């Protein structure tokens, strides 16, 4: 379980593709404190550490994950948001994030708004019912509040978020432009509310 508060901005050092894939990541974490088998959220996808060394760790990624997330697009040099798991007693600064990506959202626009940047995304049709104004989403592992939601008529929705300067500096959002794609995880509470509504109907 994670909180959507990014604690390191690293990058892909190497990708080995043979059926599944192995990613080697550069990180600012003290990897001596990271156990083999530990979980790290990598731009929103919970991955297992299978190898490590000073300033780097490796994770294996299945073909299923590659097809359902943006990880299949990653090449050496790609920036990656990292978060280590929530521990009992830690501050919950964002919202509860599982690290299980629900879909991929497309970046439609990026517009300056004061010192911040306003981003508009298109979410897949199957996730439209889980995104609400003032609700929470995790985009590339970053906990964000939805500003507005607009139905596109085809089942898909547009929604907007604001990225403050601190978030742009500390995450991969600083390099994100229209046409890009991000991993989207809907709010756990929204998932359960929707399930209860389906059962009631």
Torsion angle (degrees, nearest 10) of CA 119, 192, 83, 7: 60
pLDDT of residue 155: 78
Task: Enumerate the domain spans of the chain.
Answer: 8-83, 103-200
Torsion angle (degrees, nearest 10) of CA 172, 177, 182, 187: 90
- What pTM, to 2 d.p., does this model score? 0.92
pLDDT of residue 176: 96
**HSE value, Cβ hemisphere, 13 Å, CA-based, for 58:** 12
Distances (CA, A) of 187 to 7, 121, 161, 183: 20, 16, 15, 13
Is 65 within 8 Å of 183 (Cβ atoms)?
A: no
pLDDT of residue 165: 97
Q: What is the mean pLDDT of each run of 10 residues along the chain (201 residues)?
A: 95 92 98 97 98 98 95 97 88 84 97 96 90 94 96 87 97 96 89 62 64
pLDDT of residue 200: 64
Class of domain 103-200: mainly beta
pLDDT of residue 18: 82
Residue 10's DSSP bridge partners are 80
pLDDT of residue 185: 96
- Token pair 């389906």 is found at 198
Does domain 8-83 fall under CATH 2.30.30.30? My reply is no
pLDDT of residue 67: 93
Q: Is the dihedral of CA 98, 7, 57, 72 positive or negative?
A: positive
DSSP label of 197: H
Tell me the Cα Rg of the chain: 17
Instruction: Say if 8-83 and 103-200 have the same CATH topology.
Output: yes
Is 122 within 8 Å of 106 (Cβ atoms)?
A: yes
pLDDT of residue 90: 75
pLDDT of residue 191: 67
């Amino acid at each position: 379980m994670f909180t959507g508060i990014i604690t390191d901005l690293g990058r892909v050092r190497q990708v080995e593709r043979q059926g599944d894939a192995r990613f080697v990541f550069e990180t600012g974490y003290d990897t001596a404190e990271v156990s083999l088998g530990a979980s790290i959220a990598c731009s929103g996808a919970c991955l297992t550490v299978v190898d490590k060394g000073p300033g780097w760790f490796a994770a294996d990624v299945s073909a299923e994950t590659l097809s359902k997330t943006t990880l299949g697009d990653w090449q050496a040099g790609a920036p990656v948001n990292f978060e280590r798991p929530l521990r009992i007693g830690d501050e919950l600064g964002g919202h509860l994030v599982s690290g299980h990506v629900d879909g991929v959202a497309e970046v439609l626009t990026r517009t300056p708004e004061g010192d911040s940047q306003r981003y508009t995304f298109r979410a897949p049709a199957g996730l439209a019912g889980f995104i609400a104004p003032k609700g929470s989403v995790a985009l590339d592992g970053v906990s964000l509040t939805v500003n507005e939601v607009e139905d596109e008529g085809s089942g898909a929705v547009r929604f907007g978020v604001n990225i403050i300067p601190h978030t742009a500096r500390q995450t991969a959002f600083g390099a994100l432009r229209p046409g890009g794609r991000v991993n989207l995880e809907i709010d756990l509470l929204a998932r359960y509310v929707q399930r209860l509504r389906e059962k009631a109907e």
